Every structure is written in C-alpha cells, then in structure tokens.
Amino acid sequence: MKSHGKKQIFIFLQAFFRENPKHTSGQEVSYTLDGLQAKLFSSLSKLDAWGLELIVVLDEAQYLQLSMKQAKADFSEDLANSPNSASAFTEALSLFKLLGNEGIRFSLLDFSSLMKNLSLSKQVYIERAYHSEKSFVIASKSCYDRAGQLSSALGIQTISLSSVAQKEQDWQSKKSRNFASWPLLTGFILRNLRTAFVERKTKETEISLRLALDAHGESSIDTGLNFFNHMLENLAKHAKINLYLKVKGDLKVDEHHSIEDVGIVMGIALKQALGDKRGLARYGFVLPMDESSAKCLLDFSGRFSFVWEATLNREYVGDFPTEMLRHFYESFASSAMVNLHMKLRGENEHHLIESSFKALGKCMRQAILQLDDQLPSTKGLL
C-alpha cells in the first residue's frame, strides 16, 4: 500500500551551496550560498507555505554542531568568531540564520541515524511518516551517493540541482530529475501536490485564491468583510488547509457579489486541488457549539446537490448579511460539484453561522484525507 502521510522534502545541506571551482589540489573546497538568495528563499518559502515539511539532511558532525546552535537560536556569535568565512560550516550557520529571519520552518536530521532507523523499522516509517509519491530528496553533485542511498531506502524520487545532467543521477530504483535552479525545482514539486491557484475577474469582483489541502491550517484572508474573513479563517483552521484569499468587490453596491463569487472560486479551487480523487475518505461531520449545532454532510461525488435547513432572523451579523449564508454554500457546492447538506439548530445566530463554517471545515478535513490509492467509487469515476 502506498503511504499517504506527511509531504516531506529531504534537502542535503550541500544543495544550498555551490562549490567554488577556483581551488587548487590540496586546498579546502570553499562554498557560497547558491545563486540569487532572493530566489532561493522565495522557493523555500513557497514549499513551506504549501504545507511541505522541510528537513535539512546533515552528516553526524554537522548535525551535532548545528542542532546545538539551532537550539540556542543564536548563530551570530559563531559567525563573528569563525576563522574561515568561506568554509561550509560557516556558510551553513549563515544559511540557518537567514532561514530563521525569513520565517521558514525547517528541522535538522542526521543522515547516519536516519539510515540506521530505516534499516531497523523501514516499513513502519514508510507507512506512518511520509507520502511516498509527494516527498522528495534534493541533492547536488557532491552528495549524489548518499542521496541515492536515502531515496532508494525510502522509495521516493530524487531531484538534483545541476546545470548539467549527470550519469550518476540514474540511481538504483528511480531516475533523478535534474533542474538548473531552485525556482524550476520548486515549480515541479508544487505541480505534484494537492494545491490550486485560481484568479477570477468580473465586472463586480476580482479574486485571487491559493489553496493547499495537505497543510497546516494557515490563512491570510481579505474579503473586505470582517465577519466573513473570520468565518473563512475558522474553515481553514478546522479543515487544516492553507487558504490565501484576496477579494476586491463592489461592496459600495452590495455584499452579494463578493460573497457569492468567493463561494464559486473556492469550489473551483477545491475541485482542482482534489485531482482524480483517488484515496479520498469522501464523507460527513456533526459539530456542536454551545447551544447551537451544525450538521454537515459532504460527498465529493462529482455531482451537485444542495440541501439547506436553517432559520436566521437577524438581517446582519457584524457586516455579514445572513441571507447570503445559504447562497455562499450553494455557490461553493455548485462550482465544486459536491453534495452538501447543511442543518443548523440553535438560538444565537453568530454561533449558528460560525458552527456551520467549523462543521464544513471538519467535514472537509475528514473527506479530503487520502486513505489509500483506490478510487472510492464502484463506477471507476468521480
């Protein structure tokens, strides 16, 4: 059975650097951070934002030294006292300080310990820890051998950074893909994930949305409606999806177009990110919130059906028109081509609306999980 756990990127430390070719025999090889730093960190930020776990693979000596520095979160003193500013270790310290400054999350891993653990409990690790089709090893020429060992042991693909393809890249079980730059490499990885980017522009609204299904539950949302922002943040949090949404709508006319069109664009993005729907859990959730309850039934069937049972008496909650709640969910279900049933009960209408977004989030989290590599339908199509 294929693994459907975390999406992990194992990056060998050397992949961040380029060896200085201007050295003579007997001299220590010098290292510099790879290429244009802005492009490197932009690429790493994208991988982090889309929910990938970044793991820097070190040898044992590097791991012991750098993990201690990372724990202290203080690289500056070591940089100042380093006798060789061109050494690989000093450049690594500089790298980790810059990653921290950019807010890029990463962890350190000892190559020797990892290979030892894999030899002892490979099957357990493979089944529980990572997604074999959407995890990668990133390497450079100087660490081909160890990268080949790791990719072969884990059964995942290796990506190499090199301006010229090398014969050594045809490792034991899989061929390595070769890219000349971090932006090209990052683009390849993101195309293999359950992500979507949708832009939609009409006379009433202009919407830009990024969505990652296998992520952390982070969001950055600006619809122009504060209450709606808060509800969509709740949805992202409980669905554990990353949602980045920017809306410019004709709010001077009415809220209708902005709310409706967000539902449409979210549905399009979800449908796009789900791909062929293999391995989906597919179905339902019920959520209580104080005196209120929300029953949400969801099926990624590829067919549109919408059932709504709710009574809302207030005209507005905050700056959100309550009549648009049903219309938002119906627009979302229609463009996503799903079955969505909503039943809300309670007295406090803020709680009613919020419980509905949380219930949809929980329902989505349950339904988008990938359990295996089988299509969850006897028809062979969803």
Q: What is the CATH number of the domain that holds 280?
A: 3.30.230.40
Rounded to an integer, the average pLDDT of 57-68 is: 65
Query: Which pLDDT belongs to residue 225?
Result: 97
* CATH code of the domain covering residue 114: 3.40.50.1000
In a domain? residue 376: no
Name beta bridge partners: 321.
316
Tell me whether residue 379 is in a domain. Answer: no
Token digits of residue 39? 């492009």
139 contact partners, CB below 8 Å, separation of at least 6: 12, 14, 15, 146, 147, 158, 159, 160, 161, 176
pLDDT at 113 over 60: yes
Per-residue pLDDT reduced to its tens digit, 25-56: 444 444 455 554 668 888 888 888 777 889 98
Residues of the domain holding 141? 8-191
Count: domains in the chain: 2
Report whether 139 contacts 111 (CB < 8 A). Answer: no
Considering the domain architecture, whether residues 325 and 269 belong to the same structural domain is answered as yes
Same domain, 183 and 83: yes
For residues 156 and 9, give the distance between their C-alpha atoms in angstroms, rounded to a whole number: 10
Q: Are residues 308 and 333 in the same domain?
A: yes
Strand locations in the chain (E)? 8-12, 17-19, 31-33, 53-58, 107-110, 136-139, 157-161, 177-179, 195-201, 205-212, 219-222, 242-249, 285-289, 292-299, 305-309, 316-317, 320-321, 339-345
Mean pLDDT (the chain, rounded) = 79
Query: Is residue 116 located within the same domain as residue 163?
Result: yes
Q: Same structural domain for residues 186 and 207?
A: no
Asked if residue 241 and residue 294 are part of one domain, the reply reads: yes
**What CA–CA distance (Å, rounded) separates 167 from 170?**
6
- Residues 273, 342 contacting (CB under 8 angstroms): no
Residues 328 and 356 in one domain: yes
170 and 105 within one domain? yes
Asked if residue 378 belongs to a domain, the reply is no
Within this chain, do residues 229 and 102 fall inside the same structural domain, yes or no?
Answer: no
User: Looking at 175, 191, 207, which one is the last position of a domain?
Assistant: 191
305-316 confidence digits (pLDDT tens): 999 999 999 999
What is the pLDDT at residue 82? 39
- Residue at a domain's end among 191, 225, 240: 191
Q: Which range, of 114-123, 149-158, 367-376, averages the lowest pLDDT?
A: 114-123
More confident residue, 145 or 360: 360
Could you give the CA distance from residue 12 to residue 20 in angstroms, rounded to a whole number?
18
Residue 38 located in a structural domain: yes
Task: Please indicate, yes or no, if residue 42 is contained in any of the structural domains.
Answer: yes
Residues 138 and 9: their CA atoms lie apart, in Å, by 7
Q: Hey, what are 190's tokens?
A: 């993101």
Q: Which residue has the higher pLDDT, 351 or 214?
A: 351
Do residues 367 and 300 touch, judged by C-beta distance below 8 A? yes
Percent of the chain with pLDDT over 90: 35
pLDDT in tens, 223-232: 999 999 999 9
In a domain, 323, yes or no: yes
Is 16 within a domain?
A: yes
pLDDT exceeds 50 at position 365: yes
Q: How far apart are CA 88 and CA 116, in angstroms?
A: 25
Are 32 and 60 in the same domain?
yes
Q: Is the pLDDT assigned to residue 281 strictly greater than 50?
A: yes
Residues 118 and 260 in one domain: no
What span, in angstroms and rounded, lies between the C-alpha atoms of 158 and 126? Answer: 16
Answer with the one of 176, 191, 206 that is the final residue of a domain: 191
Q: How confident is the model at residue 133 (pLDDT cuts 50, 70, 90)?
A: low
| Beta carbons within 8 Å of 381's beta carbon, 6+ residues apart | 302, 375
What angle do the packed helices 88-101 and 37-49 form, to 10 degrees?
A: 60
Strand partners, 247: 207
Token code pair at residue 177: 């893909």
pLDDT over threshold 60, residue 282: yes
Between 225 and 150, where is the model more confident? Answer: 225
Q: Kindly state whether residues 223 and 343 are assigned to the same domain.
A: yes
Q: How many other C-beta atoms can be found within 10 angstroms of the C-beta atom of residue 348?
A: 15
Answer yes or no: are the C-beta atoms of 160 and 177 closer than 8 Å. yes
Q: What is the pLDDT of residues 285-302, one digit of tens each?
A: 666 777 788 999 998 888
Does 377 reside within a domain? no
